[in-house]
């Protein structure tokens, strides 16, 4: 061991077997340093790594309540709060193209429940577990017949991160979701080209480089948690046709297939965990968009991830529900 090198000093004025032995005090000090290194060296290195990582999401237990949207982006919003009165909610519940407004609110020490005739949001105040449920048979007067028709959504939306993620400066971006599908029931036959129920986690990718020709470019970067048409949703890319898209119509959508991060299908009643480093997949999404003629003046050096939503997008007629027990976005800086 390097710490126990020979020292040219004497013990009681003598040498033993021609090998230099450190004085007693020096030996004690060296043994202490060696023990400290063995016991704490690894944790010190781990602490150094922890210093470089940070959480992008805020208030993941929803303790500050919610901003409740209306069915349109121009609709007025209202706050549903149950903490300090002066706290500003970090999360919006987006109800795009729904007929209801979650206007029935029940609050007690353990639970917050928001409902209307079409959907519900139930929050466990102690654990932060939250259930999102929809009955879209009531949402549609008749099944959708065109991909350009809007569809009902129920989403948890953090519109902007307190600290946006500069992708080129991140070594890793770990997204994690612990969730359970609680209901999935189709009402009648569904046309797979038009109708489905999707549980999706979406990130807002923006070009914020004012020196770039692609300044203000935007891309929807999505992880598919569940799609009622598949055991494993495939990789997919398309242009956004939903006129209620939060950034407007026409942006490129990159959806990651669920086999990238799941080894078994998502089924009702079984908890599932997504944990996936999306850093390289963001680079890939830019390249796929370029091949389709989108954001061609944007590179990985230009983009940030700033904002996210997670929840149901249901173009079909389904009863659906999912409980989200935990979610996290841990960024490891270079």
Kindly state whether residues 25 and 136 are assigned to the same domain. Answer: no
Please enumerate, as own/partner, the contacts of 299-303 that have beta carbons within 8 Å and a separation of 24 or more: 299/212, 299/214, 300/167, 300/168, 301/168, 301/209, 302/207, 302/208, 302/209, 302/212, 302/214, 302/215, 302/217, 303/167, 303/168, 303/205, 303/206, 303/207, 303/208, 303/217, 303/219
What is the Cα–Cα distance from 251 to 96, expressed in whole angstroms? Answer: 17
| Strands in 189-268 per DSSP E | 198-207, 218-227, 236-239, 252-256
Residues 78 and 174 in one domain: yes
Are 229 and 81 in a shared domain?
A: yes
Which CATH number fits the domain that encloses residue 205? 2.60.120
| Residues 13 and 127 grouped into a single domain | no
Backbone dihedral region of 196: left (phi > 0), alpha (psi from -120 to 50 degrees) or beta? Answer: beta
**Whole-model pTM?**
0.83
Instruction: Inform me whether the pLDDT recorded for 12 exceeds 50.
Output: no
What pLDDT band is residue 147 in, cutting at 50, 70 and 90? confident
**Domains identified in the chain, total number:** 2
* pLDDT of residue 198 exceeding 90: yes
- 38 and 164 share one domain: no
Give the confidence band of 17 by pLDDT, cuts at 50, 70, 90.
very low
**Residue ending a domain, choose from 50, 67, 89:** 50
Q: What is the Rg, in whole angstroms, of the alpha carbon atoms belonging to the chain?
A: 27
pLDDT score at 242: 58
Claim to verify: residue 97 and residue 244 sit in the same structural domain = yes
Cα(256)–Cα(217) distance, integer angstroms: 20
Helices in 134-271 by DSSP H: which ranges? none
Mean pLDDT, rounded, for 171-188: 98
Q: Do 229 and 325 belong together in one domain? A: yes
Residue 18 has pLDDT above 70, yes or no: no
- Shared domain check, 115 and 24: no
Predicted local distance difference test score (pLDDT) of residue 297: 98
- CB 328 within 8 Å of CB 158: no
Percent of the chain with pLDDT over 70: 81
Q: What is the mean pLDDT of the chain?
A: 87
70/108 same-domain check: yes
Structural contact between residues 227 and 196, judged by C-beta atoms closer than 8 angstroms: yes
Domain with 22, as residue range(s), is 2-50
Residues 190, 233, single domain; the answer is yes
Q: Which residue has the higher pLDDT, 154 or 46?
A: 154
User: Do 114 and 241 fall within a single domain?
Assistant: yes
Among candidates 53, 62, 311, which has minimal Cα distance to 177? 311
pLDDT tens, 231-273? 999 999 999 865 544 444 689 999 999 999 999 999 999 999 9
Higher pLDDT, 190 or 84: 190
- Give mean pLDDT, residues 167-189: 97
State how far the Cα of 79 lies from the Cα of 288, in Å rounded to an integer. Answer: 39
What pLDDT does residue 243 have? 52
The answer to whether residue 27 scores a pLDDT higher than 70 is: no
Residue 187 has pLDDT above 80, yes or no: yes
Residues 189 and 153 in one domain: yes
Helix (H) or strand (E) holding 16: none
CA-wise closest residue to 114 among 126, 127, 105, 123: 105
- Please determine, for residue 115, whether its predicted confidence score (pLDDT) is greater than 50: yes
Compute the average pLDDT of residues 188-210: 97
**pLDDT tens per residue, range 266-304:** 999 999 999 999 999 999 999 999 999 999 999 999 999
Report the candidate in 290, 300, 95, 262 with the shortest Cα–Cα distance to residue 181: 262
User: Encoding tokens for residue 208?
Assistant: 């914020």
Q: How far apart are CA 131 and CA 311, in angstroms?
A: 10
């Amino acid at each position: 061991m390097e710490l126990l090198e020979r020292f040219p000093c004497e013990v009681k004025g003598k040498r033993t077997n021609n090998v230099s032995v450190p004085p007693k005090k020096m030996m004690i000090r060296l043994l202490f340093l060696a023990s400290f290194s063995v016991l704490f060296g690894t944790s010190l290195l781990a602490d150094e790594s922890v210093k470089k990582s940070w959480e992008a999401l805020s208030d993941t237990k929803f303790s500050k309540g919610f901003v409740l949207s209306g069915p349109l982006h121009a609709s007025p919003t209202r706050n549903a709060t149950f903490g300090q009165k002066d706290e500003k909610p970090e999360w919006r519940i987006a109800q795009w193209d729904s007929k209801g407004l979650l206007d029935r609110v029940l609050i007690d020490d353990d639970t917050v429940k928001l409902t209307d005739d079409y959907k519900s949001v139930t929050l466990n105040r102690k654990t932060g577990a939250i259930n999102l449920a929809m009955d879209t048979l009531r949402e549609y007067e008749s099944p959708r017949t065109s991909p350009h028709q809007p569809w009902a959504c129920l989403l948890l939306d953090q519109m902007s991160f307190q600290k946006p993620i500069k992708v080129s400066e991140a070594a890793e971006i770990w997204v994690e979701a612990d969730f359970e599908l609680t209901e999935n029931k189709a009402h009648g036959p569904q046309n797979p080209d038009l109708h489905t129920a999707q549980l999706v986690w979406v990130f807002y990718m923006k070009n914020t480089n004012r020196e770039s020709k692609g300044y203000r470019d935007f891309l929807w970067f999505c992880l598919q948690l569940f799609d009622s048409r598949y055991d494993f949703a495939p990789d997919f890319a398309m242009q956004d046709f939903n006129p209620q898209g939060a950034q407007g119509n026409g942006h490129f959508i990159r959806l990651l297939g669920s086999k990238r991060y799941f080894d078994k299908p998502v089924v009702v009643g079984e908890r599932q965990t997504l944990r996936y480093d999306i850093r390289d997949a963001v680079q890939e999404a830019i390249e796929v968009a370029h091949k389709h003629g989108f954001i061609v003046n944007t590179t990985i050096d230009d983009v940030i991830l700033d904002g996210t939503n997670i929840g149901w997008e249901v173009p079909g007629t389904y009863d659906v529900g999912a409980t989200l027990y935990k979610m996290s976005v841990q960024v490891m800086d270079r």
